[in-house]
A and B are shown apart, each in its own frame.
Chain A
């Protein structure tokens, strides 16, 4: 079972602000890192899967980077909008087909 830390636990920003949060995980036995977006009363939806050190992924205003050597990933949101309000989960994967989910960062974007 991997020890996955996400920070901050929660975050309030104003519409238009850019923000970022962190996922830390053990760098050993690393296979992939998943980011999911989870809106209240809905199911988690995949944002990115990253595998290589230095990977960067982008989807619209959301982007992510990966550092496998030091065991962290950053998620960035540029120009936050109220519809970005959600819990953002990271989940590193080891070689045993299992994802270990962090507790998430709850983002609230105020209009």
Chain B
């Protein structure tokens, strides 16, 4: 069982470059989430989706965009990379109820912006 997969595992970007972080889940979960983890801080929610075609902002959405064209995929796009976006990014998914169901996390993408 693959669960939640993320690519790439690591990436170094130059300031101003763009990239897409990929996230795919094979559990048929409706809810998907993007978090970032900075040293000494808790996981911060960037964007989330409650189903295909529906996305909404989390706590720290500035500088990011998402789309959800299928149940399985929830890519996160950085349009103009900035050093403040250096972080570890985690994608997660959960089943129908969202609030009381477990979130399953992917392995993370470590991004450095220089």
List residues of A whose CB falls within 8 A of some B CB.
Answer: 1, 4, 31-32, 34, 42-46, 49, 51, 89, 91, 93, 95, 97-104
- Please report whether the interface of chain B is mostly helix, strand, loop or mixed according to DSSP: loop
Instruction: Report chain B residues within 8 Å CB of A34.
Output: 102-103
List residues of B whose CB falls within 8 A of some A CB.
Answer: 4, 31, 35, 40-45, 48, 50, 58-59, 90, 98-108
Please pick, from A46, A97, A101, the residue contacting B42 in the complex, using a CB distance under 8 A: A101
Contacting pair B106 A1 (CB below 8 A): no
Interface-centre pick from A49, A89, A98 (highest chain B CB count, 10 A): A98
Q: Contacts A32-B99, A103-B40 given; indicate if A43 touches B107 (C-beta within 8 A).
A: yes
26 A-B Cβ contacts within 8 A? A1-B59, A4-B42, A31-B99, A34-B102, A43-B90, A43-B106, A44-B90, A44-B103, A44-B105, A45-B105, A49-B102, A89-B42, A89-B43, A93-B99, A93-B100, A97-B31, A97-B48, A97-B98, A98-B45, A98-B48, A99-B45, A100-B42, A101-B42, A102-B42, A103-B41, A103-B42
A31 to B99, CA, bound (A): 8
A65 to B103, CA, bound (A): 20
CB nearest to A98 among chain B residues:
B45
- Please report whether the interface of chain A is mostly helix, strand, loop or mixed according to DSSP: loop
Instruction: Report chain B residues within 8 Å CB of A49.
Output: 100-102
Contacting pair A46 B102 (CB below 8 A): yes
A100 to B43, CA, bound (A): 8
Q: Contacts A4-B42, A103-B41, A103-B42 given; indicate if A97 touches B50 (C-beta within 8 A).
A: yes
Instruction: Report chain A residues within 8 Å CB of B101.
Output: 49
Q: Contacts A43-B108, A97-B50, A98-B48 given; indicate if A104 touches B42 (C-beta within 8 A).
A: yes
CB nearest to B42 among chain A residues:
A101
- Nearest-Cβ distance from residue A87 to partner chain B, whole angstroms: 10
- Nearest-Cβ distance from residue B42 to partner chain A, whole angstroms: 4
4 smallest A-B Cβ distances: which pairs? Answer: A43-B105, A46-B102, A101-B42, A101-B43
CB nearest to A103 among chain B residues:
B42
Please pick, from B35, B41, B58, B100, the residue contacting A32 in the complex, using a CB distance under 8 A: B100
